[in-house]
């Protein structure tokens, strides 16, 4: 009996000890981003200046979370594990439909966003029509610039991916770029800003890849709040972005791949809604 | 032909001696029963003779070859001269009867020959297996599954394997321990008559004294790792008394 | 050969690993998270699984229904469960813990129940004769009878839970899996290598720990306490649970649009192709590797490196192999076959080696006493004696690969897993549920077929 008693005491004390070691929760603002440029500790570290900037502006600790896919980001807004999030166009209309998320701010470039179609520099692909019979990479299935709009343009050019191509989803824009660069696929479509910043940062070799088509402009990324977040905090958050100025907040703007931010609204996405519904993605 | 002198064996460095100063001299063709309670060291003695256990002190010579320190090819040569049958579990259930029987030839076959036989036995090899099985009256079981054999058939197949091996010495470790008295008698008389016909030396451990005195020339008693008595059959006390003592 | 060339150049990109201190420090948190997910889920699963299996073992009322339920849950691949859990309770370790708890409660419950049902009936009858109640028999009869096996299986399942926690990380359920998949997607191969090395080290450490726990069962207490703490910490919050119920209502009833129904035969065919092809490739690789790794057949200078090779092969989960291979082998089922084949070769090789090492000593000694060479003894005794456990392992592997085939589909190998993942990603949850049901049905059918095969080869009763 005594032996059992000791076992129980040992178990409970060990349990409490580990509890202290494992648990370290803080009451922080949880900010999520779609994994448009990867979802690892490294990418979170690279975004440290953004986190610091937001903490300063909000006056509260900020957890920067990058879920592994777009769907996860939306569901996290639904069940409260994220307070704010950075969403792509398609993800936004889904999050809005499901959980009534509030659009806050976006880059001015997001209103005139483009997708780039790239291929390796020595390939024979020069137009969308040349894609017939090739292998192709989209980014995340929920990505607007990495899937929806390129898919639409390919269909309009008479190259329905389901009929004429072998394609896969790489999960992110950089992955698409790398898949094209390494020759794992013949061509791919991705976010213009990701492409440019990868070239600028030397992560992509401009001698190995080339752009063969640029899509028509469309509306893309937006920062949103979960609808339960109090309006004052929402306002502070939006203000933090519109306050960003070129030449002054270079470090943060580089992370966001933008120049300046403007207020966003739900009506901008009407066209995208129609497109997505037409493509059976919404 | 089998000379054991002052043999000492332990299971490992800490445990007590399983065999303590055993000395034994066996002549060619002798049929010897080794009696003793379980744990007396009978199995250990047999395994040491076959070179499966290290010899701590003393020596074993089989047909002039010292067992201690043998390795590789020379150890295998020695083993091919020593047949072994044990209580049970020494046939491989998944193999056919013919494969178990011809395993006796592994000592003279090359590895390649052995593996080829597993896949595709030659007619001559099957014929040899059949001959060996006919000596134990089991030729009808040549192509049976080993797992379908009865206890007595099991032991007869093991004997057939030993016949294929054509050893100088056959060590039978409690070959009838799990059989009923009638079957036990049949198996032991088979072993003895085969030993007479083929001229191999037979060492057989038993725990039933009556069987030992009925079938063997010489009866050795081992108790607690030592030889307690070593007598020819005629000189032994009457079996009835032995039964009482042995029980 | 451009294929080989690109494969080699891709492989070169994985070296050297990023071993900088700052990176490794940054990754220790996810590494611990993985450990917490696995330990927490195992702790809960052990309790739940043991409870279930005792109920079944003692044939308490409702045990048949419970057994059916366990079989059902075990048939949903862990990654599929993880996807469901991520949708239901959100990102991070909570989803991982929940998914693995569900999966391993069912898996261990079923395995333990099977172990109990093969417990010596004589001993149980003796307890019955003393007038013991059924629950008393469960605790005093069944538990001690099988404690050793329970520990062995528990250790094995823990190792596989670590790997599973990596897999579920791939869909955002936290831990080092999320990191690894992220790095691979980013083509950050140097760091992926670092993470794989960390993963291999973690699994080796768990192996090592398991060895000590088996000798020193007291250590189990520390593990249990750690698991309990982790489970407590990572268990989903109440608010999340109510949201989860709401989300779940959007998933039923399952529904497939007409065009998806038309594609179904192709998807099922691809899944079967991946599972069968992967298992076949694994068996072909694992037979020689297993023999080479068996310490009773091969000399140390061969068995030691082969064992390390097998560890490396199986430490990398199928989905990670898939992500690595997709750059080399391109798209389609062949990526799935290769990914499953490589991982399963590692797993089967180890199990084959163990089966070969654990054969009964007597028949082997009887063979050795004829003077045969090591290899001919292997052929005549060790291999046939190990045939039953090896066959059982292979059949279980095939069952496993049926699940894995649906998983690797997600990364571009096609098959039903890809369709499932895409439906989930696009928030078509009712369609997703339809695929979950189809996956489940396929696995149930495979399992049933396996039971028949085991009977046919007469291998089940020998284990």
User: N- to C-terminal Cα distance for chain A?
Assistant: 63
Do residue C132 and residue C94 come from a single domain?
A: yes
Cα-flanking dihedrals φ and ψ of residue A281, to 5°?
A: -110, 0
Omega of the bond prior to C16 within 30 degrees of 0, cis? yes
Rounded mean pLDDT of A78-88?
A: 88
pLDDT digits (tens, 9 = 90+) for A39-54: 677 777 788 899 999 9
- Nearest CB to C363 within list B89, B99, B115: B89
Interchain contact, C384 vs B104, CB within 8 Å: no
Q: Is pLDDT at A1 greater than 60 in this prediction?
A: no
Decide which of C204, C221, C249 is a domain's last residue: C249
- Structure confidence at residue A266 (pLDDT): 94
Q: Quick one: C290 and C238 in the same domain?
A: no
The pLDDT assigned to B150 comes to: 86
C189 and C279 part of one domain: no
Closest chain C C-alpha to B211 CA, distance in angstroms: 24
Q: Which residue has the higher pLDDT, B11 or C261?
A: C261
Q: Note whether residue C4 is domain-resident.
A: no
Q: Which one has a higher pLDDT value, A140 or A129?
A: A129
Q: What is the mean predicted confidence (pLDDT) over B157-162? A: 90
DSSP sequence for A36-69 = TT--SHHHHHHTHHHHHHHHHHHTS-EEEE--SS
Comparison of pLDDT for A194 and B71, the residue scoring more: A194
> Is C89 in the same domain as C178?
yes
On whether residue C239 sits in a domain, the answer given is yes
pLDDT of residue C430: 92
For B20, residues 6+ apart whose C-beta sits below 8 A from its C-beta are B8, B224, B225, B226
Nearest residue to B156 via CA among B142, B168, B216, C376: B142
Which residues does chain A have within 8 Å of residue C87's beta carbon, measured at their own beta carbons? 71, 75
Instruction: Please give, rounded to a whole number of angstroms, the shortest distance from the CA of A67 to a CA of chain C.
Output: 6
Out of B47, B93, B115, the one facing C376 most closely (by C-beta) is B115
Side-chain-side CA neighbours of residue C232 (13 Å): 17
CB of B82 less than 8 A from some CB of C:
yes
Domain boundary among C249, C282, C306: C249
Q: How confident is the model at residue B89 (pLDDT cuts 50, 70, 90)?
A: low
Domain that holds residue C225: 13-249
Instruction: Give the contacts of C1 (CB within 8 A, at least 6 positions apart).
Output: none
C6 domain residue, yes or no? no
Residue B243 clears pLDDT 50, i.e. is over it = no
- Looking at residue C1, what is its pLDDT? 39
Q: Which CATH architecture has domain A29-109+219-278?
A: 3-Layer(aba) Sandwich (3.40)
How many other CB atoms are found less than 10 A from the CB of residue A84? 25
At C415 the pLDDT is 83
Among candidates C251, C425, C329, C457, which has minimal Cα distance to B93?
A: C457
For residues A272 and A264, what is the distance between their CA atoms, to the nearest angstrom?
A: 15
Distance CA A110, CA A88 (A): 10
- Assess whether pLDDT exceeds 80 at residue A116: yes
Q: Regarding beta strands B31-35 and A261-263, do their DSSP bridges make them parallel or antiparallel, or are they unpaired?
A: unpaired
β-bridge pairing B31-35 and B65-66: unpaired
**CATH number of the domain to which C31 belongs:** 1.10.3720.10
Across chain C, mean pLDDT equals 82
- Check contact A-B (3+ Cβ pairs < 8 Å): no
pLDDT band at C239 (very low <50, low <70, confident <90, very high): low
Q: What is the C-alpha to C-alpha distance for residues B4 and B8, in angstroms, rounded to an integer?
A: 10
C418 in a structural domain: yes
Tally of domains within chain C: 2
* pLDDT tens-digit map of A246-279: 888 888 998 888 899 999 999 999 999 999 998 8
The reply to whether C239 and C305 lie within a common domain is: no
Q: How far is the CA of A101 from the CAs of A77, A92, A225, B219, in angstroms? A: 8, 8, 6, 96
Span B15-38, pLDDT tens digits: 777 888 888 888 888 889 999 888
State mean pLDDT over A113-134.
94
Identical topology for domains A29-109+219-278 and A114-214: yes
Mean residue pLDDT across chain B:
84
Which structural domains are found in chain B, ordered by start?
2-246 (3.40.50.300)
Same-domain status, C221 and C82? yes
Nearest CB to A79 within list C10, C90, C412: C90
Best mean pLDDT range from A102-116, C47-61, C228-242, C437-451 = A102-116
Find which of A174-178, A228-232, C317-321 is predicted with most confidence, using mean pLDDT: A228-232
Average pLDDT of span C139-144: 66
Neighbours of chain C (3+ CB pairs under 8 A): A, B
Do C87 and A41 make contact, defined as CB atoms within 8 angstroms? no
DSSP classification of residue A147: I
Q: ipTM value of the model?
A: 0.82
Q: How far away is chain C from the Cα of B207, in angstroms, using its nearest Cα?
A: 20
- Inform me whether the pLDDT recorded for C399 exceeds 70: yes
Characterize C245-271 residue by residue with b for buried, 16 or more Cβ atoms within 10 angstroms of its Cβ, and e for exposed. Answer: eebeeebeeeebeeebeeeeeebbebb
Q: Which of B89, B104, B161 sits opposite C360 (nearest CB)?
A: B89
Q: Is residue C366 part of a domain?
A: yes
Position B129 scores a pLDDT of 92
Are the beta carbons of B89 and C375 separated by less than 8 Å?
Answer: no
Helices (H), chain B: 42-49, 72-80, 97-102, 111-119, 123-135, 151-165, 181-198, 209-215, 239-246
More confident position, B113 or C451: B113
Residue range C216-229: mean pLDDT, rounded: 79
For C375, nearest residue in chain B (alpha carbons): B111
What is the CATH superfamily name and number for domain A114-214? Answer: Periplasmic binding protein-like II (3.40.190.10)
Whether residue C341 is found in the same domain as residue C240: no
Q: Are residues C236 and C273 in the same domain?
A: no
DSSP states of C161-227: HHHHHHHHHTTT--SHHHHHHHHHHTT-HHHHHHHHHHHHHHHHHHHHHHHHHHH-TTHHHHHHHHH
- Is C356 in the same domain as C315? yes
Residues 6+ away with beta carbon under 8 Å from C246 = none
pLDDT computed for residue A186 by the predictor = 92
Q: Who contacts C143 (Cβ-Cβ below 8 Å, separation ≥6)?
A: C54, C150
Specify the range with the lowest mean pLDDT, choosing from B101-105, B140-144, C55-59, C360-364: C55-59
Segment C115-128 mean pLDDT = 67
Q: Check pLDDT > 50 for residue B244.
A: no
Chain A residues in contact with C188 by the CB 8 A cut-off are 38, 40, 42
Place of tokens 């704010």: A84
* Res B154: pLDDT: 87
Q: Does residue C303 lie within any of the structural domains?
A: yes
**Which range is least confidently modeled, A107-111, B231-235, C96-100, C252-256?**
B231-235
Strands A115-120 vs A187-191: parallel, antiparallel or unpaired:
antiparallel
Q: Which residues contact A13 (CB under 8 A, 6 or more apart)?
A: none
pLDDT recorded at residue C118 = 66
User: Is residue A206 over pLDDT 70?
Assistant: yes
Inter-chain CB proximity C427 and A69 less than 8 Å: no
Determine how β-strand A29-33 pairs with β-strand B57-62.
unpaired
Q: Is the pLDDT of residue A152 over 90?
A: yes
Q: What is the pLDDT, as a whole number, of residue C366?
A: 87
Distance (Å) of CA C380 to CA A121, B88, B96, B99, B115:
60, 17, 10, 8, 8
- Which residues, listed in sequence order, are joined to residue A87 by a DSSP beta bridge? A222
CA gap C71, C109 in Å, rounded: 9
Looking at C249, C281, C310, which one is the last position of a domain? C249
User: Considering just the CA atoms, what is the radius of gyration of chain C in Å?
Assistant: 23
Q: Does C461 touch chain B (CB under 8 A)?
A: no
Assess whether pLDDT exceeds 90 at residue A105.
yes
Are residues C48 and C81 both part of a single domain?
yes
| Domain residue ranges in chain A | 29-109+219-278, 114-214
- Is the per-residue pLDDT at C7 higher than 70? no
> Could you tell me if C301 and C368 lie in one domain?
yes
pLDDT of residue B247: 36
pLDDT at B137 over 60: yes
- Return d(Cα C390, Cα C384) in angstroms, integer: 10
**How far is the alpha carbon of C21 from chain B, nearest alpha carbon, in Å?**
47
* CB-based burial label for A216 (10 Å; 0-12, 13-18, 19+): exposed
Region at A114 (left for phi over 0; alpha for psi -120 to 50; beta for the rest)? beta
Q: Please tell me whether residues C149 and C272 are part of one structural domain.
A: no
Can you give the pLDDT at residue C431? 92
Residue C271, token pair as written in the block: 């899944």
Does residue C35 sit within a domain? yes
Tokens for B208?
Answer: 């039933």
- Find the distance separating the first CA and the last CA of chain C, reported in whole Å: 47
Nearest to C376 among B93, B95, B114 (CB): B114
Which of C144, C167, C129 is closest to C57 using CA atoms?
C144
A1-5, B132-136, C139-143, C400-404: the lowest-pLDDT one: A1-5
Which residues of chain C lie closer than 8 angstroms to A40, CB-CB?
178-179, 182-183, 186, 188, 191
């Amino acid at each position: 009996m005594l032996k059992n008693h000791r076992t129980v005491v040992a178990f409970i004390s060990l349990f409490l000890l580990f509890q202290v070691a494992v648990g370290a929760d803080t009451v922080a603002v949880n900010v999520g981003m779609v994994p448009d440029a990867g979802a690892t500790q490294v990418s979170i570290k690279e975004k440290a200046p953004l986190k610091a900037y937001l903490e300063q502006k909000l006056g509260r600790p900020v957890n920067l979370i990058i879920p592994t896919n777009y769907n996860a980001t939306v569901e996290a807004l639904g069940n409260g594990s994220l307070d704010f999030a950075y969403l792509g166009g398609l993800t936004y209309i889904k999050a809005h439909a499901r959980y009534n998320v509030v659009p806050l701010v976006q880059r001015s470039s997001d209103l005139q966003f483009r997708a780039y179609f790239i291929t390796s520099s020595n390939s024979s692909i020069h137009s969308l029509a040349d894609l017939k019979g090739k292998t192709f990479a989209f980014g995340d299935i929920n990505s607007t610039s990495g899937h929806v709009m390129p898919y639409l343009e390919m269909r309009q050019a008479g190259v329905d991916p389901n009929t004429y191509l072998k394609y896969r989803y790489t999960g992110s824009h950089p992955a698409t770029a790398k898949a094209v660069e390494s020759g794992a696929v013949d061509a791919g479509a991705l976010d213009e800003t990701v492409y440019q910043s990868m070239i600028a940062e030397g992560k992509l070799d401009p001698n190995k890849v080339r752009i063969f088509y640029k899509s028509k402009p469309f509306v893309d990324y937006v920062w949103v709040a979960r609808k339960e977040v109090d309006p004052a905090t929402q306002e502070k958050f939006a203000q933090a972005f519109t306050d960003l100025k070129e030449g002054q907040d270079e470090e943060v703007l580089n992370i966001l791949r933008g120049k300046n931010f403007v207020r966003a609204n739900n009506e901008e996405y009407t066209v995208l809604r129609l497109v997505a519904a037409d493509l059976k993605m919404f | 032909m089998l000379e054991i002198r002052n043999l000492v064996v332990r299971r490992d460095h800490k445990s007590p001696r399983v065999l303590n100063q055993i000395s034994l001299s066996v002549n060619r063709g002798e049929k010897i029963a080794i009696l003793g309670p379980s744990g007396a060291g009978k199995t250990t003695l047999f395994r040491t003779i076959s070179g499966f256990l290290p010899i701590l002190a003393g020596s074993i010579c089989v047909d002039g070859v010292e067992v201690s320190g043998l390795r590789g090819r020379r150890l295998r040569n020695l083993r091919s001269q020593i047949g072994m049958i044990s209580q049970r579990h020494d046939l491989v259930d998944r193999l056919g009867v013919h494969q178990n029987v011809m395993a006796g030839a592994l000592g003279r076959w090359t590895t390649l020959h052995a593996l080829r036989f597993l896949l595709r036995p030659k007619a001559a090899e099957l014929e040899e297996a059949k001959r060996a099985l006919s000596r134990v009256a089991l030729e009808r079981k040549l192509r049976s599954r080993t797992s379908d054999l009865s206890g007595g058939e099991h032991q007869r197949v093991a004997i057939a394997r030993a016949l294929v091996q054509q050893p100088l010495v056959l060590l039978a470790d409690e070959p009838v321990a799990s059989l009923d008295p009638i079957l036990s008698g049949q198996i032991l008389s088979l072993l003895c008559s085969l030993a007479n016909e083929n001229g191999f030396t037979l060492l057989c451990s038993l725990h039933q004294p009556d069987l030992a005195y009925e079938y063997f020339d010489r009866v050795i008693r081992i108790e607690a790792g030592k030889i307690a008595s070593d007598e020819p059959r005629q000189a032994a006390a009457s079996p009835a008394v032995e039964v009482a003592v042995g029980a | 050969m451009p294929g080989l060339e690109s494969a080699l150049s891709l492989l070169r990109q994985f070296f050297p690993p990023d071993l900088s201190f700052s990176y490794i420090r940054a990754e220790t948190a996810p590494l611990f998270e993985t450990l917490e997910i696995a330990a927490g889920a195992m702790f809960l699963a052990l309790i739940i699984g043991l409870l279930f299996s005792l109920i079944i073992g003692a044939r308490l009322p409702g045990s048949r229904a419970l057994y059916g339920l366990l079989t059902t849950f075990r048939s949903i691949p862990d990654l599929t469960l993880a996807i469901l859990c991520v949708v239901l309770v959100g990102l991070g370790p909570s989803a991982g813990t929940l998914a693995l708890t569900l999966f391993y409660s069912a898996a261990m419950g079923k395995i333990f129940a099977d172990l109990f049902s093969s417990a010596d009936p004589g001993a149980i009858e003796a307890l019955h004769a003393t007038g013991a109640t059924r629950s008393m028999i469960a605790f005093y009869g069944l538990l001690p009878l099988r404690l050793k096996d329970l520990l062995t299986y528990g250790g094995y399942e823990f190792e596989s839970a670590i790997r599973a926690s990596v897999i579920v990380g791939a869909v955002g359920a936290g831990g080092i899996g999320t990191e690894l998949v992220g790095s691979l997607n980013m083509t950050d191969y140097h760091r992926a290598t670092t993470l794989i090395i960390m993963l291999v080290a973690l699994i080796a450490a768990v192996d090592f720990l398991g060895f000590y726990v088996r000798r020193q069962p007291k250590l189990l207490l520390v593990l249990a306490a750690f698991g309990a703490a982790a489970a407590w910490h990572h268990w989903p919050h109440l608010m999340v649970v109510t949201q989860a119920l709401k989300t779940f209502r959007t998933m039923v009833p399952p529904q497939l649009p007409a065009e998806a129904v038309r594609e179904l035969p192709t998807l099922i065919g691809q899944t079967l192709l991946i599972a069968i092809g992967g298992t076949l490739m694994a068996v072909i690789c694992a037979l020689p590797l297993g023999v080479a790794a068996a310490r009773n057949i091969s000399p140390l200078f061969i068995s030691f490196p082969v064992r390390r090779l097998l560890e490396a092969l199986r430490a990398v989960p199928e989905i990670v192999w898939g992500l690595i291979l997709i750059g080399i082998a391109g798209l389609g089922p062949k990526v799935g076959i290769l990914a499953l084949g490589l991982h399963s070769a590692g797993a089967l090789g180890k199990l084959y080696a163990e089966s070969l090492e654990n054969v009964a000593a007597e028949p082997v000694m009887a063979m050795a006493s004829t003077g045969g060479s090591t290899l001919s003894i292997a052929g005549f005794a060790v291999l046939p004696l190990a045939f039953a456990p090896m066959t059982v392992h292979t059949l279980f592997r095939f069952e496993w690969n049926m699940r894995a085939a649906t998983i690797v589909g997600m990364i571009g190998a096609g098959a039903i897993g890809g369709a499932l993942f895409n439906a989930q990603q696009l928030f078509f949850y009712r369609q997703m549920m339809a695929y979950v049901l189809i996956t489940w049905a396929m696995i149930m059918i495979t399992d049933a077929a396996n039971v028949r095969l085991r009977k046919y080869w007469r291998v089940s009763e020998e284990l």
